[in-house]
Amino acid sequence: MNFHKKSVARRVAILCLVLFAATLTPSGKSQAQEIEVADVMEVVGEAYEALVKAIMLVPVLELASDTPYGEIARRAKEIENASKQLPFADSLKGDQTVIALSHQLRGRAALLRKSAAKNNFSALSSPLIDLRRTCLQCHSEYRF
Ligand code: HEC
């Protein structure tokens, strides 16, 4: 009886240790896949090109009233989402400049999205230029 109790207690203790150890093992491998800067930038670059086209070209070639506001809002949102991943990308992790500039990128893309949501054509080009400044600032920070 006493022996049986001890053995149960031991099993419980071992189980606890195993469960505890599981919480300690590095979760790097089981975590979501690594984020590559180049992959994030591919999305950002494509979205930015689409924004330039939608904001600068379409209204010039056609009419300001044909401005694809939905597309602009969608592309701006893509940049906002990508900017959230940027500080976690492999080679940039924890870099204070990257954190600050990613935050700025998100804010400026959000401004663009909000102007698009209001169908406010005249409030699109200046946030687009500001957005571009953030791209350039970060790229020059990394010397290219
Ligand atoms: C917070 C920093 C940061 C910001 C902001 C940023 N980038 Fe980048 N970008 C990088 C880094 C770092 C690389 C180099 C990635 C690599 O090749 O490893 C890069 C590379 C790129 C590339 C080349 C991708 C390739 O390797 O083929 C493009 C295109 C690009 N960025 C577009 C943009 C655009 C457009 C914006 C703004 C809308 C922007 N980036 C904003 C950091 C940034």
Q: Report all structural domains of the chain as residue ranges with CATH numbers, in order of start.
A: 37-141 (1.20.120)
Instruction: Report the 3 state secondary structure along the chain.
Output: CHHHHHHHHHHHHHHHHHHHHHHHCCCCCCCCCCCCHHHHHHHHHHHHHHHHHHHHHHHHHCCHHHCCHHHHHHHHHHHHHHHHHHHHCHHHCCCHHHHHHHHHHHHHHHHHHHHHHCCCHHHCHHHHHHHHHHHHHHHHHCCC
pLDDT tens, position by position, 118-130:
999 889 989 999 9
Ligand 1, atom 41: closest residue by C-alpha = 135
pTM of the model: 0.79
- Cβ 86 under 6 angstroms from ligand 1: yes
- Cβ 135 under 6 angstroms from ligand 1: yes
- Cβ 35 under 6 angstroms from ligand 1: no
Please give the distance, rounded to the nearest whole angstrom, from the Cα atom of residue 49 to the centre of ligand 1.
13
pLDDT tens, position by position, 53-93:
989 877 666 666 678 999 999 999 999 999 999 999 888 88
